[in-house]
Amino acid sequence: MGEKLTHAMEPHNVFTMNLFGLKIPVSDLVVTMWVIMAVMIILAVFLTRKLTLIPNKRQNIAEIVVEFINNMVKDAIGPHYWKAFAPYLGTVILFLIFANTVSIFNIIPGGEEGFKLRPPTRNINVTLCLAVMSICVVIYAGIRYKGVGGWLKSFAKPTPVMLPFNILDYLIKPASLALRLFGNILGAFIVMELIYMALPVFAPAFLSLYFDLFDGILQAYVFMFLTSIYISEALE
Amino acid sequence: MTGTGIIAIAAAISAFTGIGAGIGISLATGKAVEGIARQPEAAGSIRTSLLLGAALAEATAIYGLVVALVLVFLKMG
C-alpha cells in the first residue's frame, strides 16, 4: 500500500523531449499543466468571442468571473492600484482552481499504469515556483510605486532595528505560501488515495466534494488573498 | 526498537501540531461568530479577516503534516 501511495505521489516521466540535442524529461505534472492551460485558453477565447454591450449567455459567465476577481482585488489592495494587479492575481486563482481540482475531471479510464490527471500542485516545485512569482510581483509593486529609494527605505521601517526581520520577510513569505498550498493539496490527495484504496465504491463521491473541490478552491483563494495582502503591504 | 519504529513515533509526534491549529481556529471562529451576532452588517469584512486568520493558523498544522510526510516517505524508504 505504501508503495502504491508513493507511486501516486511522485511525478513520473511521460516522455522525453529532444531539444537541440538536449534530452529534457517531461513529467506528468508538466503535461497536466499543459492540459489545464489549453482548457483555460479555449475557455477564455470561447467566453469572450463577439463581446457586446448587452451581454449574451457566454459573456455573462466571463463578466461574473472578472467582476468577482476585480472586487476581491479592490477590497484587498484598495481603489488606487488594484488595476495593475488584478490580471496577475486573477490568472493565479483561475489556474490554481483548475490545478487543485483537476483530479475530479479524471474521466478517461486509464487503469493502473495509464496517464492520470492528478493535481500538479501536489509537488513542492510547482508551488514554490508560484510563490516565487508572487514575491516577484510584491517586489515589483514596491519598486514601481515607491521608487527604488522608497522601496529600500521601507526595509528600515518602523525602526532600523527591524532591518533583518524585514529582509527575512521576503524569504519567509514565499516559503510559507508554497508550503501551505503544497501541504494542503498533498494531504487531501493522500487522504483521497487512501479512500480510493479502502472504500472504492460509495464514499469517494461525497468525500471528494470536501477534499478535492472545497479544499482546492479554498486554498486557491487563500493563495491569491495572501498575495494581494502582501502587495498592499508593499504599497503602504 | 528499530530505526523505523523511532521514525514512525517521530512522525506521530509531529502530528501534534494539529492541537495548536485547532485551538487557534476554534478561538478565531468563536470570536467571529460573536462579532457577526453583535453586528450583522459587518459580516463581510469579518468573514475575510476570519479566513485570513484561519489560513495563517492552519499553516502550523500543515508544517507538521509536511514534516511527518518527509519523515515517513523519505526516511523510511
3-class DSSP string for chain B: CCHHHHHHHHHHHHCCHHHHHHHHHHHHHHHHHHHHHHCHHHHHHHHHHHHHHHHHHHHHHHHHHHHHHHHHHHHCC
Q: Do residues A163 and A156 lie in contact, with contact meaning Cβ atoms separated by under 8 Å? A: yes
What are the tens digits of pLDDT across the range A174-212? 998 998 899 889 888 888 888 888 888 888 888 888 888
Task: Name which of B46, B62, B73 to mutate to probe chain A: the one with the most chain A Cβ atoms within 10 A of its Cβ.
Answer: B62
Interface touch B59/A75, C-beta < 8 Å: no
* Least Cα separation, residue B55 to chain A (angstroms): 7
**In the prediction, which pLDDT does A197 show?**
83
Write the Ramachandran bin of B65: left for phi over 0, alpha for psi from -120 to 50, otherwise beta.
alpha
**In the prediction, which pLDDT does A111 show?**
60
CA dist., res. A211 & res. A191, Å (int): 8
Mean pLDDT, range B44-53, rounded to an integer? 84
> Considering chain B, what is the average pLDDT of its residues?
86
User: Does B1 have pLDDT greater than 80?
Assistant: no
Interface touch A222/B48, C-beta < 8 Å: no
Predicted complex ipTM:
0.74
Interface touch B51/A226, C-beta < 8 Å: no
Q: Residue B50 CB: number of other CB atoms within 10 A?
A: 19
* Least Cα separation, residue B56 to chain A (angstroms): 9
**In the prediction, which pLDDT does A26 show?**
84
**In the prediction, which pLDDT does A109 show?**
65
Tell whether A180 is within 8 A of chain B (Cβ).
Answer: yes
**In the prediction, which pLDDT does B53 show?**
84
Residue closest to A166 by CA, chosen among A151, A174, A155? A155
Q: Which regions in chain A score pLDDT beneath 50?
A: none
The full set of domain ranges for chain A reads 51-235
Contacts of A84 (CB under 8 A, 6+ apart): A141, A144
Tell whether A86 is within 8 A of chain B (Cβ).
Answer: no
Interface touch B62/A229, C-beta < 8 Å: no
Residue closest to A174 by CA, chosen among A123, A231, A135? A135
Domains of chain B in start order, with CATH, are 2-72 (1.20.20.10)
Q: At what angle do helices A163-198 and A124-153 cross, to 10 degrees?
A: 160
**In the prediction, which pLDDT does A190 show?**
85
Query: Out of A121-125, A162-166, B17-21, B70-74, which region has the weakest mean confidence (pLDDT)?
Result: B70-74
**Residue B41 has which C-alpha cell?**
452588517
**In the prediction, which pLDDT does A131 show?**
94
Query: What pTM does this model have?
Result: 0.86
**In the prediction, which pLDDT does B77 show?**
59
